[in-house]
Amino acid sequence: MKKKSFLLITMLMLALSMVLAACGGDTKEEGGESGEKSADLPKFISILTGGTGGTYYPLGGSFADIVTDETGIQATAQTTGASAENMTTLKAGDAEVAFSQTDIASYAKEGTAMFEGNAVENVQAIGTLYPETIQIVTTAKTGIKSVEDLKGKKVSIGAPGSGTALNAEQILEAYGIALTDIQKQDLDFAESTEGIQDGTIDAAFITAGTPAGAVESLSATADVVIVPLDQDKIDALMEKYPYYIQDEVTAGTYGLEEAVPTVAVSAMLVVTSDLSEDAVYEITKAIFENLDKVTHAKAKVIDPAKAKEGAGIDIHPGAQKYFDEKGY
């Protein structure tokens, strides 16, 4: 009798557990969005940024935290050589999301400039973020006050293959200066400002949102000078290279007494085309709706309503779905 009672209780418990499991499954299906979220989202993604002294790295770290918290995708920000390297890494399938300059993303997609014969076809845009100001950085003690003064000096044009290096070459060209006219150094932003501080180099090109961390660090110990671009050269650059816009490093940045005229490109986020529509939708929504959690000053100028402007490459369907929902 005891055996029969025990067997009956066991069978009832098993039946109850099966009913509860079925109900739980139905509840998840009826939950709609939460059920769909878990279906198509990857477990992990990498966000390619840039050097630690630039703007991509701190923003990328904040974006990774936001994506992890808001979507459940474990996002990790990685330091890199920035735009050109990032595009190559996406082509190889070794990451999913990356920061890039708009000009470099266009070159990559078209297979031009440094991507000649090596087009990156598997990328689409989430959207543009903010102006990336081209800053020619030096200090008062070098005596460098103009682009012409760079001739014969030790000048870092940025990490090898970076967008900054191409910007530097184009600006120098506008002034009739070849790379052979300077003592070219290929350093990332942090290495560049450390070199200026140590006196091992004289100046550096830095393409980054202002204030750039590496330049801020330099300004704590030295009188930073940002070399201005002449208006006729700015006009010539914008006419020859449509992705350039007129910009300035505002007074007060790095302790500057006056605003310094220059040009800028735009920073953008790109993704691999094979990342699902659901995943890119959730990533896009998470970032653009939680910018208040980003402490870097550049977050204040990021406007999702303008994110499609100047992207230069196709918008990923997942990002487009978000923009359509918001009416952008």
- CA torsion sign for 103, 312, 127, 238 is positive
Where in the sequence of the chain do the CATH 3.40.190.10 domains occur? 41-129+267-326, 132-265
The Cα 173–Cα 182 span in angstroms is 12
**269 within 8 A of 288, measured Cβ to Cβ:** no
pLDDT at site 241? 87
The Cα 313–Cα 108 span in angstroms is 10
CB count, 10 Å around CB of 116? 10
Q: Tokens 């990774």 sit at which residue?
A: 64
At the topology level, CATH places domain 41-129+267-326 in D-Maltodextrin-Binding Protein; domain 2 (3.40.190)
To 10 degrees, the CA torsion angle through 297, 303, 306, 311? 50
**107 within 8 A of 163, measured Cβ to Cβ:** no
How is 25-36 classified by DSSP, letter by letter? Answer: HHHHHHTTHHHH
Query: What secondary structure letter does DSSP report for 121?
Result: -
Residue 138's DSSP bridge partners are 225
pLDDT at site 233? 98
The Cα 295–Cα 252 span in angstroms is 19
The Cα 94–Cα 210 span in angstroms is 29
| Single-letter residue type at 16 | L
Q: Tokens 């940025």 sit at which residue?
A: 158
**What are the φ/ψ torsions at residue 112 (nearest 5 degrees)?**
-115, 180
The three-state (H, E, C) secondary structure of 277-305, written as one string: HHHHHHHHHHHHCCHHHCCCHHHHHCCHH
CATH of domain 132-265: 3.40.190.10
pLDDT at site 33? 42
The Cα 293–Cα 272 span in angstroms is 25
**238 within 8 A of 229, measured Cβ to Cβ:** no
Q: Tokens 């500057």 sit at which residue?
A: 256
Check whether the bond before 42 is cis (ω within 30° of 0): no
> pLDDT by residue for the chain (328 residues), tens digit each?
444 454 444 454 545 454 444 444 433 333 334 334 555 899 999 999 998 888 899 999 999 999 999 999 999 999 998 899 999 999 999 999 999 999 999 999 999 988 999 999 999 999 999 999 999 999 999 999 999 999 999 999 998 878 899 999 999 999 999 999 999 999 999 999 999 999 999 999 999 889 999 999 999 999 999 999 999 999 999 998 878 889 999 999 999 999 999 999 999 999 999 999 999 999 999 999 999 999 998 899 999 999 998 898 999 999 999 999 999 9
What is the pTM for the complete model shown?
Answer: 0.75
Closest Cα to residue 293, out of 61, 22, 47, 30? 61
Q: Where are the alpha helices (DSSP H) in the chain?
A: 2-30, 33-40, 56-71, 83-91, 102-110, 163-174, 189-198, 213-219, 231-240, 277-288, 317-326
Q: Which residues of 19-28 are buried (b: 16+ CB within 10 A; e: fewer)?
A: eeeeeeeeee
**Rg for the chain (alpha carbons), in Å?**
25
